[in-house]
């Protein structure tokens, strides 16, 4: 193909597109070499091949070789390994959306941008949805463990804070309550899942529920193990609860394409609302019964 002379503006834009495509190629290619699951490796290798094809098409117009953004390659490769393939790759695709939006502005000058844009959209809507990751299968179990622990334990700790006003007692009571509840929750999830999904899935559902519960208990009780000021501990615990809710829903918003604001607001309102109510109950019980620990 005879190379078309591009305007200065379009040439600069084409080089930016090339950089995005070659960065995507190196990221997908690196992950394809370490993915053990044959299905997922095939999906990621296919996307890598398309990214290189897009790069070569754009190179025909720019006439330039462009190096990948090594920082992005490193970042998204490790995010995919740490938080799951779907999360890392969907986050990377979101970072490319701005570049893809600019394709439509130059379709007349570079007609080959239309199939490139179509394939890029396919990455998001089809190929990445084909990825099969165990952790995403059991998102419901994780949500169950997190939600129950956040609501129950923030309320329990808030009530205990005013009832005991002693960080050691509060921490001890919170840990006993939390870990006992995690076992109970995991057992209930196992029995529930076994009735509908089979023994293998039931065991894993229970494991994810229990792990999520134990993690949340540890994060919420942690301030009471460090500080002596029970009010400061309660404030820190509530902050931790909000952070757990924010981080988990940010993950789901990317991996599951869900509405972050709606889910975050709902979970935060319920957890903090229960904590405030329990805080008042603890104060009321202490005053009415004259309990002084």
pLDDT tens digit sequence for 98-151: 666 666 667 667 777 777 777 776 766 565 666 655 556 667 677 777 777 887
State residue 263's pLDDT score: 79
- Of 161 and 199, the structure prediction assigns the larger pLDDT to 161
State residue 224's pLDDT score: 93
How many angstroms separate the CA atoms of 253 and 98, rounded?
A: 18
What's the mean pLDDT when you consider all of the chain?
78
* Mean pLDDT computed over 7-30: 85
Which distant-in-sequence residues (6+ apart) come within 8 Å of 41 by Cβ? 32, 35
Prediction pTM value? 0.64
State residue 288's pLDDT score: 67
- Residues shown for the chain: 293
How many angstroms separate the CA atoms of 291 and 154, rounded?
A: 22
For the chain, the domains span 8-132, 135-289
Instruction: Please determine, for residue 54, whether its predicted confidence score (pLDDT) is greater than 70.
Output: yes
State residue 223's pLDDT score: 93
State residue 112's pLDDT score: 74
Place of tokens 């920082």: 71
State residue 197's pLDDT score: 53
How many angstroms separate the CA atoms of 131 and 136, rounded?
A: 10
DSSP 256: S
């Amino acid at each position: 193909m005879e190379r078309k002379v591009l305007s200065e503006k379009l040439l600069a834009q084409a080089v930016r597109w090339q950089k995005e495509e070659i960065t995507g190629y190196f990221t997908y290619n690196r992950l394809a070499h370490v993915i053990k699951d044959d299905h997922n490796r095939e999906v990621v290798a296919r996307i890598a091949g398309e990214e290189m094809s897009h790069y070569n098409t754009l190179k025909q117009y720019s006439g330039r070789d462009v190096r990948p953004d090594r920082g992005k390659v490193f970042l998204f490769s490790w995010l995919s390994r740490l938080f799951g393939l779907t999360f890392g790759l969907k986050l990377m695709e979101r970072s490319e959306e701005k570049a893809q939006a600019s394709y439509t502005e130059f379709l007349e000058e570079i007609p080959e941008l239309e199939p490139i844009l179509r394939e890029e959209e396919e990455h998001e809507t089809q190929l990445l949805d084909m990825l099969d990751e165990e952790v995403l299968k059991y998102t419901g179990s994780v949500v169950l463990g997190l939600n129950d622990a956040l609501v129950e334990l923030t309320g329990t700790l808030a009530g205990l804070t005013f009832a005991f006003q002693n960080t050691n007692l509060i921490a001890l009571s919170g840990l006993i309550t939390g870990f006992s509840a995690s076992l109970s929750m995991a057992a209930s999830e196992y029995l529930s899942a076994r009735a509908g999904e089979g023994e293998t899935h039931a065991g894993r559902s229970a494991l994810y529920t229990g792990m999520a519960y134990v993690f949340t208990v540890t994060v919420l009780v942690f301030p009471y193990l460090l500080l002596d000021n029970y009010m400061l501990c309660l404030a820190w615990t509530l902050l931790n609860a909000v952070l757990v809710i924010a981080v988990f829903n940010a993950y789901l918003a990317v991996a599951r394409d869900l509405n972050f604001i709606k889910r975050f607001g709902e979970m935060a309102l319920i957890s903090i609302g229960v904590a405030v109510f329990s805080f008042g109950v603890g104060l009321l019980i202490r005053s009415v019964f004259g309990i002084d620990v």
